[in-house]
Structure 1
Amino acid sequence: MPSKFALDITPESLINKDLSPSYIRFFAYILSCLTVATALLAGDIQKSLWWVPVAALVYPALSHLITARWQRSNPGKTNSILILLDSTIAGGSIALLHFNPALSLFLFFLVSAGTITIGGIFGWLVSCLALIIGTVIGMAVVGMPAFSPEPPNVFTLTVGLFGVTMYSTALGYFSFKQARTLMSIQGELKKRQKESANLSRKLSKYLPPQVWGSIFSGQTDVKLETQRKKLTVFFSDIKGFAEISEELQPEALTDLLNSYFTEMSRIALKYGGTIDKFVGDAILIFFGDPTSRGQKQDAIACVSMALEMRKKMKLLRQQWRKEGISKPLQVRMGINTGYCTVGNFGAETRMDYTIIGREVNLASRLESVAQPGEILIAESTYNLVRDVIMCRDRGQINVKGFSKTVPIFEIVDLRKELGASQSFLECEKDGFTLFVDIDKIRNYDKDTVVEALEEAAKRIRDKLIV
């Protein structure tokens, strides 16, 4: 037989040990022995076939002992071979018993019911073929039998029907136990899946969602591998953070940082940025890997993200001021577009998905020379976003590691936000702070907001300011 031959029988891992297929097989041979012995005593078959029920008892035990070693190493193939041998023997026995109607139907039922239950439709078809082959071989050995029109003895029929009933009961119980085993395995599998999902959600917080998703979808392999890609890189940090960290208690400083990182991360994910790392109060984000919308759209998304972060910082300052942090915290940002090396760095046992390269360093340098609240971009980014983003030329600067001066540009705002149609208004002076995001004002709040502004304007006009 082919080395890979095996019927589609029940896998060993799903078999209930209380009633395995081996027990079903032994039980079938015992019932066969009992039925053939009854036929001998009733005179339905020749007395010279006295050895048949004896062989029906000895053969299954002998075959089990001989194949025990293979049962442990390759149970699927071994059981398949035994099933085919049993079917062939049943076919030969039908010919040997001269096609006795009761015994022939009994043996066919044992083969048919057993193989359809344990081996499925494919196992049943192959076993029926083996039974036919065994019958042909038996006829070739014993010759063409002479058919007798006499009905079988009532005792043979009774024992045969009893055997069929008991075997059907055993198969039913086998199917019941298999179903219960499968239900138990499914319940355990659902429990493990739930635990794995919870663990995955926890572990996903340590990786950017894009990287996590690409790993689970199979797009990214977890191995030490890098590639060159054109990315838009974003750096930011909080100006004056070192001074305020000396004034605040560690717990308050931790809460401030966590609230800041939470809001900035939410905005970064909104625009599709890959959050590389947090270093102190600094954030490194890049666009273009593992997913990209194209170099231009990646650059526009990165600058749009930076603008929203700057607006959010103004709201956070108001919140922090209420919590007693009077020192105004400002964010500096730098953005550059260029080819970087991105991928898994580290060791086989501990990797870090990050980016390195000259263009990454330039984004960091731009952030360090930016003024508080300022967003500086390199010329490569400016060329990609200038038709969507209003920028101001800031000349050229000398950057460590670059032999030539680097042209830089300051981000003003999205062009659609400038002029009469702009949706965000702001003004901050001593004793006066105004932040208005028109797009977020609901219709039912509009009158209240207008009344508050008019009341504030009236009081300012009426008050004599020295």
Structure 2
Amino acid sequence: MLSFDILNKDPMQFARYHRYVAYFLILIIFLAALYSNAVHPAHPFIIIAIIFLIPFIQNYSSNRLIRRFGYPLAKNIILLIDALFVAFWLISIEFAVIPSLLVIIGLIYGAIWVRVSWLGLLTIVLFSVSMLYLLCYLLGINNIDFKTSPMVVSVISIMCLTIYLSVGLIYFNHRLHHIETEKKQVDEQVTKYLTLANKLARYAPSQIWQSIIRGEHEAKIDNKRKKLTIFFSDIQGFTELSEKLLPDDLAFILNDYFEHMTDIARRHGGTVDKYMGDAILIFFGDPESKGYKEDAKACIYMAMAMLNEMKILRERWKRLGYNGLHIRIGINTGYCHVGNFGTSSRMSYTIVGRDANLAARLQTAAEIDQILISESTYQLVKDSFTCLEKGELQLKGLSEPVLTWQIVGRQDSEKAATNRWIDYELQGFHLQLDLNELKPYEGAKAIQILEQVTKRLKMEETRYQPHDKYKR
């Protein structure tokens, strides 16, 4: 049985050991033929010495050839030496059929093992045949007459070929198992690192870590001045509510709120900068931008979607005993410095600048469930949204008044093209339908639910108007 040390060699090293095995087995075949008087060479010891020394000469030469010419050329030279030996072997074995054929098979197997092309294999065979005829000519052999070999020689030849092929197949199977084990380990490591990367990615905006993975962004201290649309919101009355609630209840509401708002920001292409208490800072225009106007419109769409989502959240929170939670939103468009700020050991991808502060001040000045925008944002979105001028406001921290506008809704033309949101609210009744989010295969189910609700409402109406049945 082969030692595991040989099986663990790389293919090039194993090929050398395999060649030793091949020539050792050829030597056994020749000794068997010599012992059974199947061959009668004039100088048998010279033939034995040649068979014994050739693999050592080949391996010594291959090392030097590989260093000088590279493996592909060295491999072809070694195979030509093997082809020359095959011609020498046929003459030495006196053209005994079985030993000759099996050594030729061994030569072809060895060539295939080292990945010789079919053209290269044909060249080796032609070279071997040419060398055979050349040696026959030099040695004065006029006729090449193949003969049968004694049974013992044939059996030993077949056994030797079987051993030679088995050694290669055992190594191949071991190598395949080794590769599969390594692949499994690599897959486990990749899965581990992907899981870890997914966990770490939650501490940074998805657009940033995705651009880092794609090689578009480097994790180094760097920033640039860029025109952005900045969104700032907070929950009205959250500070007072936090004094009344237990920490666990407060954390539940806050995380529930952040989960839904962040999902809306992601769908609209916003970069979530940070969470500050109950406030959220989001900006549009970096690292991905569709242009100033489209970025501003996407931000407004996102803000309106958040107000609609808050209606659902308020109903859910109301059933849990938390009432009256509303948000205020401020939006501004202007130039900020955006990029990595901090140190080489710890950094944050964020924005800084006056226009970022202006968005925060607009949010503070906004009323509940109101979207308050600056003049610069208004100029970009006025053709798509109905806006109500709120006049100039003196905002805290700013030396001059700021002209502000309130987003009322989409323009009629914009509604016709993009409004796929249905929203009705009555006392005890709230219907929201987002046709952009509804899957086509869920349309029938939605219709079935609406029909069930309609049927239930009709039953309730009949219940509270029993006299109707006597009017027929």
Q: Which residue of 1 aligns with 2:423?
A: 424
Please give the TM-score of this superposition, normalised by the length of structure 2: 0.75
Deviation per residue, 1:323-378 (Å, 9 max, x gap): 2334x222111111233333333334433222233322221221122222221111
Comparing 174-183 with 128-137, greater Cα deviation is found at 128-137
Asked if structure 1 preserves the Cα contact closer than 8 Å seen for 2:62 and 2:74, the reply is no
Please give the TM-score of this superposition, normalised by the length of structure 1: 0.76
For residues 248 and 134 of structure 1, the distance between their equivalents in structure 2, rounded to whole angstroms, comes to 92
Superposition pairs for residues 158-197 of structure 1, below 5 Å?
158-197=155-194
Distance 1:297 1:245, change over 3 A: same
SS state at 2:331 partner: strand
1:306 shift after superposition: 0.8
Q: Which residue of 1 aligns with 2:374?
A: 378
Comparing 184-193 with 264-273, greater Cα deviation is found at 184-193
1:43 shift after superposition: 6.1
Q: How many residues align?
A: 432
Asked if structure 2 preserves the Cα contact closer than 8 Å seen for 1:84 and 1:127, the reply is no
SS state at 1:47 partner: coil
Pairing 1:367–2:374 present: no
Unaligned runs of 5+ in 2: 1-6, 436-445, 466-472
Pairing 1:250–2:257 present: no
Asked if structure 2 preserves the Cα contact closer than 8 Å seen for 1:112 and 1:128, the reply is no
Paired-residue identity, %: 32
Q: Which residue of 2 aligns with 1:35?
A: 29
SS state at 2:335 partner: strand
Q: Which residue of 1 aligns with 2:451?
A: 444
1:237 shift after superposition: 1.0
For residues 28 and 377 of structure 1, the distance between their equivalents in structure 2, rounded to whole angstroms, comes to 85
Q: Which residue of 2 aligns with 1:275?
A: 272
**1:53 pairs with 48, 55, 69, which one?**
48
Unaligned runs of 5+ in 1: 1-14, 459-466
Pairing 1:284–2:281 present: yes
Deviation per residue, 1:147-167 (Å, 9 max, x gap): 443434614555433332322
**1:336 pairs with 332, 338, 346, which one?**
332
1:289 shift after superposition: 2.6
**1:26 pairs with 10, 20, 27, which one?**
20
**2:410 pairs with 410, 414, 438, which one?**
414
Pairing 1:87–2:84 present: no
Distance 1:449 1:299, change over 3 A: farther
Asked if structure 1 preserves the Cα contact closer than 8 Å seen for 2:229 and 2:296, the reply is yes
Deviation per residue, 1:299-343 (Å, 9 max, x gap): 2221111112122223323332332334x2221111112333333
* Alpha-carbon RMSD: 4.1
1:455 shift after superposition: 9.1
**Residue identity opposite 1:289 in structure 2:** D
For residues 458 and 388 of structure 2, the distance between their equivalents in structure 1, rounded to whole angstroms, comes to 36
Comparing 55-64 with 264-273, greater Cα deviation is found at 55-64
For residues 456 and 217 of structure 1, the distance between their equivalents in structure 2, rounded to whole angstroms, comes to 63
Q: Which residue of 2 aligns with 1:236?
A: 233
Q: Which residue of 1 aligns with 2:105?
A: 109
Deviation per residue, 1:259-311 (Å, 9 max, x gap): 11111112212222222221111111122233333332222221111112122
For residues 135 and 343 of structure 2, the distance between their equivalents in structure 1, rounded to whole angstroms, comes to 70
Distance 1:448 1:268, change over 3 A: farther
Pairing 1:149–2:148 present: no
1:234 shift after superposition: 0.8
SS state at 1:110 partner: helix
For residues 27 and 449 of structure 1, the distance between their equivalents in structure 2, rounded to whole angstroms, comes to 87
Asked if structure 2 preserves the Cα contact closer than 8 Å seen for 1:332 and 1:373, the reply is yes
Distance 1:23 1:252, change over 3 A: same
Deviation per residue, 1:213-250 (Å, 9 max, x gap): 33333433444443443322111111222222222221
Asked if structure 1 preserves the Cα contact closer than 8 Å seen for 2:136 and 2:142, the reply is no
**Residue identity opposite 2:294 in structure 1:** Q
For residues 90 and 422 of structure 1, the distance between their equivalents in structure 2, rounded to whole angstroms, comes to 79
Distance 1:271 1:55, change over 3 A: same
Superposition pairs for residues 196-235 of structure 1, below 5 Å?
196-235=193-232
Asked if structure 2 preserves the Cα contact closer than 8 Å seen for 1:341 and 1:355, the reply is yes
Asked if structure 2 preserves the Cα contact closer than 8 Å seen for 1:343 and 1:354, the reply is yes
Asked if structure 2 preserves the Cα contact closer than 8 Å seen for 1:88 and 1:132, the reply is no
